[in-house]
Amino acid sequence: MPTLAPTDLTQLSELLSCASVKGERIDELNLSALNKIIEHRPEDMTVTVEAGKTVAALQTELRKQGQWLPIDPPNPETLTIGSLLAENLNGPRRLGFGTIRDWLIGIRVALADGTLIRSGGKVVKNVAGYDLMKAFVGSRGTLGVIVEATFKLRPVPEVESFAETTCDSLESADKLIQQVVDSPLCPVVLDLHQLPGSNPILVIGFAGTADEVEWQIGQAKTLGIQTPASLEYDRTFWSNTTPAHSVSVLPSKLVEALQKVDAPFLARAGNGIIYYRGAAPAVVTNPNTALMQRLKTTFDPRQTLPDFPFAK
């Protein structure tokens, strides 16, 4: 079936409703026609945006008012807000700013039968009703089609600064990471990455007022992290179109896990997340599978949307 590209919500709703009635499956949808910012309220630090807008285009608009959505996923120029949410993507600043679920305050979704629903709202604090938003984030489009989202925003930090150091070995990187964790520093980025045939590099990043960033850069220097750096390594890693595997471990066990990865890697050292390309990690059975499948069949009883996407 060709990719469907509805031009508005009514058409999307009809497409789903027809497919659902006929028992057909819609595997791919192109929502690029739904690309408007519906409402940006700088005074409330919130924005409501359609799912087809790219992350980069949204950030450009927000920046004009000195604000941003604190998330830095790979390839923001082509990544849409809908995919950002459905795939639950994030980037190096995750340590400082969390993941997209932490910023999402409202959502509009086309359910499998075309019904349009909302969850959450437009205010930054809201506990009315169940938090359906969380079910859709990271659901890879298998429970419904996200068509619109409202986010909390943050002021763009006055200053951002990065520093790095090359470590002799993974063990010495481990010690340095431990020192950072024990220090008063509040990094927004703490990444460890390694290319074939080279040593691991630890990158640290700070964001905030000029004073606090300057003070932290000074402190990082005393730990031996002093070469000015950028996040280019992250961009390079994700410009490779081969999908990467991801492994999540206790942050204290990061290096132990990295020793088993026989490939170039990119790791969020502060969060204990490793990305690499190579042999897939072992699949473990998930004791919650039956419940998750029940969630899937409840929201998509006629299999209109893509299949249950997780390992069983």
Comparing CB distances to another protein, the nearer of 2 and 184 is 184
Task: Please list, in sequence order, all residues whose beta carbon lies within 8 angstroms of the beta carbon of residue 297, skipping any fewer than 6 positions away.
Answer: none
Structure tokens at 278: 């190579």
Structure tokens at 203: 């990158």
- Give the distance from CA 261 to its chain's centroid: 23
Tell me the CB-side half-sphere exposure of residue 12, using CA atoms within 13 A. 27
Among the residue ranges 13-21, 49-57, 193-201, 206-214, the one whose residues contact another protein (CB under 8 A)? 206-214
Count of residues engaged in binding another protein, rule: CB under 8 A: 75
Comparing CB distances to another protein, the nearer of 126 and 259 is 126
Query: Rounded distance, CA 310 to CA 312, Å?
Result: 6
Q: Is 217 exposed, middle or buried (0-12, 13-18, 19+ CB in 10 A)?
A: buried
Structure tokens at 129: 């009703």
- Minimum Å gap between C-beta 39 and another protein is 10
Q: Is 83 among the residues that bind another protein (CB under 8 A)?
A: no
Among the residue ranges 25-33, 52-60, 202-210, 226-234, the one whose residues contact another protein (CB under 8 A)? 202-210
Cβ–Cβ under 8 Å, residues 4 and 11 = no
Comparing CB distances to another protein, the nearer of 215 and 238 is 215
Structure tokens at 15: 């497409």
- Minimum Å gap between C-beta 71 and another protein is 14
Comparing CB distances to another protein, the nearer of 227 and 252 is 252
Q: Which helix (H) or strand (E) holds 50?
A: strand 46-50
Cβ–Cβ under 8 Å, residues 121 and 131 = no
Among the residue ranges 6-14, 155-163, 193-201, 226-234, the one whose residues contact another protein (CB under 8 A)? 155-163
- Minimum Å gap between C-beta 310 and another protein is 5
Q: In the stretch 21-40, what mask flags binding to another protein with x, by CB under 8 A? A: --------------------
Site residues (CB under 8 A) for another protein, limited to 45-64: 45-46
Structure tokens at 28: 């791919």
Which of 209, 230, 236, 259: binder of another protein (CB under 8 A)?
209
Q: In the stretch 91-130, what mask flags binding to another protein with x, by CB under 8 A? A: -------x--xx--------x---xxxxx-xxxxxxxxxx
Among the residue ranges 6-14, 27-35, 44-52, 53-61, the one whose residues contact another protein (CB under 8 A)? 44-52
Query: Rounded distance, CA 27 to CA 1, Å?
Result: 8
| Residue 5, φ and ψ in degrees, nearest 5 | -130, 80
Comparing CB distances to another protein, the nearer of 198 and 218 is 218
**CA Rg, the chain, in Å?**
21
Site residues (CB under 8 A) for another protein, limited to 241-300: 246-252, 271-273, 286-289, 291-292, 294-296, 298-299
CA 180 vs CA 58, 155, 295: distances in Å = 33, 26, 41
Which of 154, 245, 277, 302: binder of another protein (CB under 8 A)?
154
Comparing CB distances to another protein, the nearer of 134 and 277 is 134
